[in-house]
């Protein structure tokens, strides 16, 4: 349509040659303003777009500009290829559907031999290489899937002013090489075990998760002596596999600079924190401020690393760390939300000055789509809206609008804060689903573990306007009824669950503000009042329960008792048992390969348009 219009305008311009020059100039200016603001190239592994290969799409366009960037839109799929954005291709954006289902990967590693029979070495292993300046990516996984075979880079970045949002970086040793320039990472996930963030660049990591797969070192910075900042991790989470012990960093070069600000550190972080790699202590620039969690141990940290004061910590800002000579600030503006299929950090409520945020995942097509509201797990004390459920749901959720929420966590916020937030989110989704191509009359809740307790409680104990209010069309703003509830390993009987444990668990003590483990009559009453089992009655929406038979955190017997109660009340209820499955849902596919498809089939059936 646009090019047909442009051809017509060309004919007008031929006639315009007979008109006065100022008029022609104005017409030319109008044409320039109506030209496309960007170049968009589509890629789909299944052949539904012009290109099946990401690299072919990149090579089809010479370069972008600030005013006319090149946007490579990548449909869900696994793209097993080497990706290279050469130096000349500035202002390129790679936009995926979701990091869990849009994967760029390759499997070179340092020990592979070349034509001469010699190892190729670390620096020829990147699955993706970014040589150009002004690059950005969103909703993509960058992976090296060679496995634990030594140095194997998922990505190498040599360009300046590169930004990554909602991306995952998967590998083992040397996962991410940020070799030069300045980079910004926001809401990203990086995993590995040895030196898996390394290089000489200046980089800011905002609200990222850094996950250690084995004993090792998170970072190996080689910051030059004349560069004031190396890596800054702000409001990040340091996690790892069970039993892992890792260092926050070791200096690849003697002036290495790494700082952790306001980070939550699990017990995978060694008490001493840092390793000097036999470099002189007086030149290494390692620092922390206000670390929290089991891995925060300021009194046991290496005495040559700094604990910053509040005044010193305030000197670290994105503008100061990344500004350079050109004043680069990657937080303004963010990547174009109109390009992405996902919109992040939408405010669904506010309480006591704290904003409640959710992410909206919208499929292609006209809608109206069925809606799923996801509530993460984490023992009511941890977790995040893009973790646990999202990696297993995103690959199969192609026909749903789905929202993932953050909610207030214990012990900072006691019960019923988290449940209030879930109810607030339900009301928000009912009011706004149509804006995201969703059908507000077809909503399912989906929760895992603690999130499972919250959604099953919301499903069994909703806020519902009384009969007379319904007749008058009132009460819609308080209504939290939904059409279906699905829960993975949900604690539905808090009394029995804590009796099984021999007393109140740490989670329960933090959630309900109890001083001891004793199951007094008052404590039992509180637990019963907030157990979904208490509110089972006829007329509830359909329930799908999924539980591993070997789950020790939420034993399947508890879920089976909840199922019996639902069926006794003539509620439509289904249980999918994962044989030998434990509490970690990411492992369930090993035992029941089609469990995700069973979930989607159930959702499609219960949320079918009527």
Distance CA 137, CA 135 (A): 7
Q: Residue 65 is part of which domain span?
A: 2-322
CA-wise closest residue to 571 among 599, 606, 595: 606
At residue 129, the 3 state secondary structure works out as: strand
Which pLDDT score, from 0 to 100, does residue 172 have?
A: 95
For the beta sheet containing 306-307, the strands, ordered from the edge strand earlier in sequence to the opposite edge, are 39-43, 70-74, 92-96, 136-138, 162-165, 182-186, 202-206, 231-234, 257-261, 285-289, 306-307
pLDDT band at 201 (very low <50, low <70, confident <90, very high): very high
Residue 212: Cβ within 10 Å count = 24
Give Cα 220 distance to the centre of its chain.
24
- Residues 6+ away with beta carbon under 8 Å from 335: 93, 95, 136, 138, 163, 165
Residue 16 has pLDDT above 70, yes or no: no
Task: Assess whether 97 carries a catalytic annotation.
Answer: no
pLDDT reading at 301 higher than 80: yes
- Looking at 322, 354, 376, the residue that finishes a domain is 322
Is-contact 218 274, C-beta < 8 A?
no
Q: Kindly indicate the confidence band of residue 6, based on its pLDDT and cuts at 50, 70 and 90.
A: very low
374 and 462 part of one domain: yes
CA distance 336 to 136: 11
Distance CA 287, CA 315 (A): 13
Q: Please give the sequence-ordered ranges of beta strands (E in DSSP) within 390-437, or none if there are none.
A: 401-405
40 SS3 class: strand
Same structural domain, 437 and 562: yes
Q: Say yes or no: 298 and 364 in one domain.
A: no
Is residue 370 located within the same domain as residue 301? no
- Residue 38, pLDDT > 90, answer no
Count the domains in the chain.
Answer: 2
pLDDT confidence of residue 337: 33
Antiparallel, parallel or unpaired: β 285-289 and 369-375: unpaired
DSSP 475-500: -TTT----SEEEEES----HHHHHHH
Q: Which CATH number covers residue 149?
A: 2.160.20.10
Task: Tell me phi and psi for residue 448, to 5 degrees.
Answer: -125, 130
DSSP letter assigned to residue 445: E
Q: Is residue 92 part of a domain?
A: yes
Q: Is pLDDT above 90 for 388?
A: no
384 catalytic per annotation? no
- For 176-230, strand residue ranges (E) read 176-178, 182-186, 189-199, 202-206, 209-221
Residue 524 has what pLDDT? 95
pLDDT of 24 higher than 50: no
Residue 195 forms part of a structural domain? yes
Output the six-digit token pair for 107: 């499997």
Based on the domain organization, do 468 and 566 belong to the same domain? yes
Peptide bond into 167 cis (omega under 30): no
Identify the residue whose tokens are 């937030």: 421
Question: Is residue 337 one of the residues assigned to a domain?
Answer: no
Q: Provide the greatest CA pair distance for the chain.
A: 94
Beta strands 141-144 and 168-170: pairing type? parallel
292 lies in the same domain as 358: no
According to the model, what pLDDT value does residue 466 have? 57
Note whether 95 and 46 are same-domain residues.
Answer: yes
* Among 60-64, 196-200, 420-424, 493-497, the least confident range: 60-64
pLDDT the model gives residue 14: 35
259 and 352 inside one domain: no
Average pLDDT, the chain: 89
Tell whether 98 and 224 lie within a shared domain: yes
Alpha helices in 81-127 (DSSP H): none
Owner of token pair 């083992």? 172
Percentage with pLDDT > 70 across the chain: 90
114 domain-assigned: yes
Q: Are residues 255 and 362 in the same domain?
A: no
Q: Per-residue confidence at 11, pLDDT binned at 50, 70, 90? A: very low
Report the CATH number that the domain containing residue 396 is assigned in CATH: 3.40.50.1820
Q: What is the pLDDT of residues 221-235, one digit of tens each?
A: 999 999 999 999 999
Residue 111 lies in a domain: yes
User: What mean pLDDT is predicted for residues 330-348?
Assistant: 61
3-state helix, strand, coil in the chain (%, to 5): 25, 30, 45
Question: Are residues 310 and 353 located together in one domain of the fold?
Answer: no
Residue of 158, 160, 195, 497 marked active site: 195
- The rounded distance, in Å, linking the Cα atoms of 51 and 418 is 45
pLDDT for 477 equals 67
Q: Which of 158, 160, 174, 493 is catalytic?
A: 174
pLDDT at position 49 is 94
- End position of a domain, from candidates 254, 287, 322: 322
> Is 503 domain-assigned?
no
More confident residue, 333 or 349: 349
- Count Cβ atoms below 10 Å from residue 86 Cβ, excluding itself: 14
Beta strand 209-221 with 354-361: parallel, antiparallel or unpaired?
Answer: unpaired
Task: Report which of residues 60 and 333 the model is more confident about.
Answer: 60
- The pLDDT score that the predictor gives to residue 39 is 87
Q: Which pLDDT does position 465 carry in this prediction? A: 66
pLDDT of residue 217: 98
pTM: predicted TM-score of the whole model, two decimal places: 0.58
Residue 146 is assigned to a structural domain of this protein = yes
Q: What is the mean pLDDT of residues 90-114?
A: 95
In terms of Cα–Cα distance, which of 455, 428, 440 is closest to 359? Answer: 428
Q: Tell me: the pLDDT tens digits for 441-489?
A: 999 999 999 999 999 999 999 987 655 445 445 445 689 999 999 999 9
Please tell me whether residues 315 and 378 are part of one structural domain: no
Range in 23-32, 240-249, 264-273, 393-402 with the lowest mean pLDDT: 23-32
For residues 26 and 541, the model is more confident at 541
Residue 335, in any domain of the structure: no
Does pLDDT of 181 surpass 70?
yes
Which of 58, 228, 218 is closest to 131 using CA atoms?
A: 58
């Amino acid at each position: 349509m646009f090019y047909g219009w442009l051809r017509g305008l060309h004919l007008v311009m031929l006639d315009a040659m007979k008109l006065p020059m100022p008029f022609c100039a104005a017409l030319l200016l109008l044409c320039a303003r109506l030209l496309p603001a960007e170049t968009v190239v589509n890629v789909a592994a299944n052949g539904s777009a012009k290109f099946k290969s990401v690299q072919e799409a990149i090579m089809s366009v010479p370069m972008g500009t600030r005013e006319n960037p090149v946007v490579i839109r990548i449909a869900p799929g696994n793209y097993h290829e080497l990706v290279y954005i050469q130096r000349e291709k500035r202002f390129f954006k790679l936009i995926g559907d979701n990091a869990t289902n849009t994967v760029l990967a390759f499997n070179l590693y340092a020990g592979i031999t070349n034509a001469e029979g010699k190892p190729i070495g670390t620096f020829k292993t990147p699955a993706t290489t970014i040589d150009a300046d002004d690059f950005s990516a969103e909703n993509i996984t960058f992976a090296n899937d060679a496995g634990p075979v030594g140095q194997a880079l998922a990505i190498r970045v040599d360009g300046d002013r590169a930004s990554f949002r909602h991306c995952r970086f998967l590998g083992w040793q040397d996962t991410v090489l940020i070799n030069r320039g300045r980079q910004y990472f926001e809401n990203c996930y990086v995993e590995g075990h040895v030196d898996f963030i390394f290089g000489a660049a200046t980089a800011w990591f905002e609200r990222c998760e850094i996950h250690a797969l084995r004993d090792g070192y998170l970072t190996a910075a080689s910051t030059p002596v004349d560069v004031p900042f190396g890596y800054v991790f702000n409001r990040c989470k340091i996690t790892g596999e069970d039993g892992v012990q890792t260092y926050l960093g070791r200096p690849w070069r003697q002036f290495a600079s790494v700082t952790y600000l306001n980070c939550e550190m699990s017990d995978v972080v060694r008490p001493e924190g840092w390793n000097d790699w036999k470099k002189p202590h007086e030149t290494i620039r390692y620092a922390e401020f206000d670390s929290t969690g089991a891995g925060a141990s300021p009194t046991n940290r290496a005495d040559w690393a700094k604990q910053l004061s509040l005044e010193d910590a305030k000197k670290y800002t994105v503008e100061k760390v990344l500004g350079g000579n050109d004043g680069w600030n990657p937080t303004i503006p963010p990547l174009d939300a109109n390009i992405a299929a996902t919109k992040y950090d939408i405010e669904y409520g506010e309480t006591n000055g704290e904003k409640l945020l959710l992410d909206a995942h919208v499929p292609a097509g006209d809608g109206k789509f069925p809606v799923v509201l996801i509530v993460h797990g984490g023992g009511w004390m941890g977790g995040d809206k893009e973790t646990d459920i999202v990696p297993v749901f995103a690959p199969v959720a192609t026909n749903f609008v789905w929202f993932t929420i953050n909610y207030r966590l214990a012990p900072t916020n006691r019960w019923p804060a988290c449940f209030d937030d879930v109810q607030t989110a339900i009301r928000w989704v009912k009011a706004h689903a149509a804006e995201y191509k969703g059908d507000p009359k077809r909503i399912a809740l989906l929760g895992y573990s603690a999130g499972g307790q919250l959604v099953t409680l919301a499903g069994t104990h909703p806020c519902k306007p009384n009969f007379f209010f319904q007749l008058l069309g009132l009460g819609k703003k308080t209504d939290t009824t939904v059409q279906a509830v699905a829960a993975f390993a949900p604690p539905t009987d808090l009394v029995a669950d804590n009796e099984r444990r021999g007393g109140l668990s740490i989670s329960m003590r933090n959630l309900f503000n109890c001083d001891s483990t004793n199951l007094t009559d008052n404590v039992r009453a509180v637990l019963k009042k907030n157990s979904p089992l208490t509110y089972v009655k006829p007329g509830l929406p359909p329930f799908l329960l999924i539980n591993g038979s070997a789950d020790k955190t939420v034993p399947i017997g508890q879920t089976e008792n909840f199922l019996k109660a639902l069926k006794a009340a003539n509620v439509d209820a289904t249980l999918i048992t994962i044989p030998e499955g434990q509490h970690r849902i990411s492992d369930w596919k090993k035992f029941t390969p089609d469990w995700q498809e069973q979930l989607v089939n159930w959702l499609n059936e219960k949320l079918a348009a009527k």
